[in-house]
Structure 1
Amino acid sequence: MSIVTLLPFIVLIGAMFLMTRSAKKKQQAAAQMRDEMQPGTGVRTIGGMYATVKEIGDETVLLEVAPGVHAVYAKNAIGAVLDDAEYNRIVHGDEPESETTDTVVPDDASSLTEATETDAPKADLTKKSDAAEADAEVQKDGKADGETDAK
C-alpha cells in the first residue's frame, strides 16, 4: 500500500483526536464552572432561567427561581455561573453605578415618524394606472382619441 492510500485515514484519525480533545476541554471547563458555584451565587440554566443557588448536592442543585419558590436541577443543567453585578443587571434591571447615560430612548416609534415643519412634501412614486395616463394625455392635447384638427 502506498502512502497516498493511507493519507485519508491518517487525516481522519487526526481530526477525530482533535475533536475529542476539544470536547474534553469544554467538559472540563463546564465542570470547573459548576464547581465554582456557592450558595447565593446567581446562575443561568441551559434553558435560559435565571436563579440563585440555595444548596449544592452531589449531582443536583437547589435553585431559588423566585422568592420562596425552589426547584431541584441537575448540576449539568447549569449553563453559566454569573457574577453578582451581571446577575443583578439581568434579573433586577440594576445599572452599574460607573456607567451613567443621558441618552433617552423613546418607548415607541412615534417620535421617529412624526412630521416636522421642515419636512418637504414627499414625491408620489407609485405607478399611474392606464386610465390616469390616458386622462393626462387628453388634458395635454385637449383632444380625445380619434379627434383630429379637421375644420
Structure 2
Amino acid sequence: MSLVTLLPFIVLIGAMFLMTRSAKKKQQAAAQMRNEMQPGTGVRTIGGMYATVKEVHDDTVLLEVAPGVHAVYAKNSIGAVLSDEEYNRIVHGEDAAELDSDTPVVPDDASSLTGSDDDADAPRIDLGKKPEAADGEAAADAGVEPKDKKADGEGDAK
C-alpha cells in the first residue's frame, strides 16, 4: 500500500485522538469544579435553575432553591459554580440605584406585547372550534350523536 492511500486514515485517527483528548479535559475540569463546591456557593443546574449549595455529599448536593425550600440534586446536574458577585447579580438583580432612567424595563408578563392592558379590544383568533352546548348541539353539528341518546339505545339501530 502506498502512503497516499493511508494518509486519509492517518488524518482521521489523528482528528479522533484530538477530539477525545479535549473532551476528556472538559470532563475532568467539570468533575473538579463539582468536587470543589462548598456550602454557601451559588450554582446553576444544567436545567438553568439558580440555587445555593447547603450540603455536599458523595453523589448528591442539597440545594436551597428559595428561602426554606430545599431539593436534592445529583452532582452531575450542576452545570456551573458561580462567583458570589455573579450569583447575586443574576438572582437578586442589579441595584436600582445603578440603573439609568434610559434603561428599558422589561415586564414580567407579555402584557406589553398587545399594546394595551385591556384585552377586550384585542382581535380574537378563530381556531375553528365551536363552543360545546349543554344539550349536544355542537356534537350534532359535527355529525356525531350526543352520548345520552346512545345510552338510551335510540342511535344503535342501523
TM-score bracket for the superposition, by shorter chain length: 0.5 to 0.7
User: Structure 2 CA distance, aligned partners of 1:104 and 1:12?
Assistant: 52
- RMSD (Å), alpha carbons: 2.1
% identical aligned pairs: 79
Shift of 1:104: 3.9
Q: Structure 1's 106 and 26: CA in aligned 2 closer, same or farther, altered over 3 A?
A: closer
Shift of 1:94: 3.3
Pair 1:105 & 2:104 matched: yes
Shift of 1:96: 9.7
Which aligned pairs between 1:1-150 and structure 2 lie closer than 5 A? 1-95=1-95, 101-105=100-104
Please state whether the residue corresponding to 2:6 is helix, strand or coil.
helix
Q: Structure 1's 52 and 22: CA in aligned 2 closer, same or farther, altered over 3 A?
A: same
Shift of 1:23: 0.2
User: Structure 1 CA distance, aligned partners of 2:27 and 2:6?
Assistant: 32
Amino acid at match of 2:55: E
Q: Is the 8 A contact 1:53 1:61 kept in 2?
A: yes
User: Structure 1 CA distance, aligned partners of 2:36 and 2:100?
Assistant: 33
**Runs of 5+ unmatched residues, structure 1:** 111-151
User: Structure 2 CA distance, aligned partners of 1:105 and 1:78?
Assistant: 32
Shift of 1:22: 0.5
Amino acid at match of 1:103: D
TM-score norm. by structure 1 comes to: 0.65
Amino acid at match of 2:43: V
User: Structure 2 CA distance, aligned partners of 1:26 and 1:106?
Assistant: 38
Please state whether the residue corresponding to 1:61 is helix, strand or coil.
strand
Q: Which has the larger radius of gyration?
A: 1
Q: Is the 8 A contact 1:34 1:81 kept in 2?
A: yes
Superposed CA deviations along residues 89-140 of structure 1, whole A, max 9, x for unmatched, are: 111113398x664534266698xxxxxxxxxxxxxxxxxxxxxxxxxxxxxx
Instruction: Count the aligned residue pairs.
Output: 109
